[in-house]
A and B are shown apart, each in its own frame.
Chain A
Amino acid sequence: MSLALFRIDDRLIHGQVVLGWGQPLDVGFLVLVDDAIAASEWEQELYRMAVPPGIDLYFQTVSDCLAALDRFRADPRPGILLTADVETMRALAAGGGIPAVNIGGLHHRSDRVQRLRYVFLSPREEQALRDIAARGVPVTAQDVPSAHAVPLGEILGDGAAK
């Protein structure tokens, strides 16, 4: 199955990811793409403690991940790729090979406007999501598998994005 989900979630590894998505997808590995975390042993240890036994966790910088995406795609186990922000996902999408993007959670910040209960976006983030969609990559918001996947156009309320 390879990478089953490409998720933007500012909480990164938490209950919705490990259990909400991880259980039904029978996830075997997680790829956490974040330049700062990839440079911090302490941050990595923090996230390792949150991952159940049997699930491998890989820390990648954006550039390392772009080089390693084919290897992750070839992994026979289902996996989830996580970024904490839209810009990181846009950089990965620019490299190609991302079939769809899931917005799992982008929470309140002073420069953001609420779009959904769990999705707050700044103008820059909205543009970055439009850029991803303009590459033909479907972008939807869906916090847990049982929720309705909300298309980007509906999130932004303008119908302009795919």
Chain B
Amino acid sequence: MTNSQPRAIVAGHGEFAAGLVSAVEAITGRGDLFRAVAVPDLCAADIEALLRETMRATGARVLFTDLHAGSCTMAARRILRGMPDAVLVSGANLPALLDFAFADTGPDGAGAGVAARHAADRGRAAIDAVEGTP
């Protein structure tokens, strides 16, 4: 652990967020750059309130969510309205988070938005399907 202030929030179904953050920690020791948020059995309004409160508490302006149509993504889109310095990356995966973990976001996290967009590109490019050979 680096004892750093979280620079991004990860939210999604089930244990998606905790799983991804634990994987980042296992690989890089930088898991504390992310705050994992689980939303079991919360209504849409409570999910939005939880994400807003987590953003306020951490100062993070980057949200990684799992599913394009998921509840966390919908809540994040609502939050982004009126928050021009925030960035949402939906469809997030481990390569995207690892890229973000190694990005230079500056001492106050001002570069987190640029890093998030780069992470989205990295995560998109990291998906592959490999077929077996005879």
Contacts and interface: CB of A to CB of B under 8 A. Distances in A.
Question: Do the two shown chains form a genuine complex with each other?
Answer: yes
Contact of B43 (A11, A13, A47, A49): A11
A interface secondary structure, majority: loop
Given A46-B74, A50-B74, A117-B41, A15 B46 contact: no
A108 B44 CA distance: 10
Contacts, number: 49
A19 B43 CA distance: 18
B interface secondary structure, majority: loop
Interface in B40-64: 41-44, 46
B70 to A, nearest CB: 5
B43 A14 contact: no
Interface residues on B, range: 10 to 19
B90 to A, nearest CB: 10
Contacts of A117: 41
Interface string B80-99: 01000000000000000000
B46 A14 contact: no
Contacts of B73: 50
Contacts of B81: 42
15 contacts: A11-B43, A12-B44, A14-B69, A14-B71, A15-B70, A19-B67, A46-B74, A46-B77, A50-B74, A105-B43, A106-B43, A108-B41, A108-B42, A108-B43, A108-B46
B46 A11 contact: no
B68 interface: yes
A10 B45 CA distance: 9
Contact of B77 (A12, A14, A49): A49
Nearest to A52: B69
B70 A14 contact: yes
A12 B73 CA distance: 13
A80 interface: no
B124 interface: no
Interface residues on A, range: 20 to 34
A133 interface: no
Nearest 6 A/B pairs, CB to CB: A107-B43, A50-B69, A18-B69, A14-B71, A15-B70, A10-B43
B122 interface: no
B63 to A, nearest CB: 15
B58 to A, nearest CB: 24
A98 B88 CA distance: 38
Given A42-B81, A52-B69, A14 B41 contact: no
Contact of A13 (B13, B42, B69, B78): B69
B12 to A, nearest CB: 9
